Amino acid sequence: EDKVVQSPLSLVVHEGDTVTLNCSYEVTNFRSLLWYKQEKKAPTFLFMLTSSGIEKKSGRLSSILDKKELFSILNITATQTGDSAVYLCAVATRDSGSSGGTSYGKLTFGQGTILTVHP
């Protein structure tokens, strides 16, 4: 059974701090690892990682994947109160489709990390 584990489950920091969120996985037929941010509603896409060792950056956020050790980290520098959210790690797999062919449509999610940033 595919498994994704995130740590820590919750984190409380002050504005300006740097945080590191962890995601480890055990899946069959890995395709990619994705990070999402969820506030009140829809998870919003942050990063998609397919290759080891290549850092992806967007402003104060960055992420990297290690396919040998089966984990990824998400870094947020100079945190702001607007960064308060649940951060979700998900792994996409390449599955045999139920009607033949290949399916890429299944994401297995971790439990999420609740990040709270105080002013």
Q: Which is nearer to other proteins, 72 or 110 (CB)?
A: 110
CB nearer other proteins, residue 35 or residue 79: 35
78 vs 104, beta carbon nearer other proteins: 104
The residue assigned the tokens 């396919």 is: 67
Closest distance between other proteins and the C-beta of residue 50, in Å?
9
Q: Using an 8 Å Cβ cutoff, are 67 and 54 in contact? A: no
Q: Map residue 12 onto helix, strand or coil.
A: strand
Query: Minimal distance in Å, beta carbon 40 to other proteins?
Result: 9
Please report how close the Cβ of residue 93 comes to other proteins at its closest, in angstroms.
9
Tell me which residues touch other proteins (CB under 8 A). Answer: 31-32, 34, 36, 41-45, 48, 88, 90, 92, 94-95, 97-99, 101, 103-112
Minimum gap (Å) between residue 14 Cβ and other proteins: 27
Q: Measured from the CB atom, is 79 or 107 closer to other proteins?
A: 107
Measured distance CA(41)–CA(22) in Å, rounded? 23
Q: How many residues are recorded in the chain?
A: 119
DSSP code for 83: G
Q: Is 81 helix (H, G, I), strand (E, B) or coil?
A: helix
Contact status, residue 49 vs residue 64, Cβ threshold 8 Å: yes
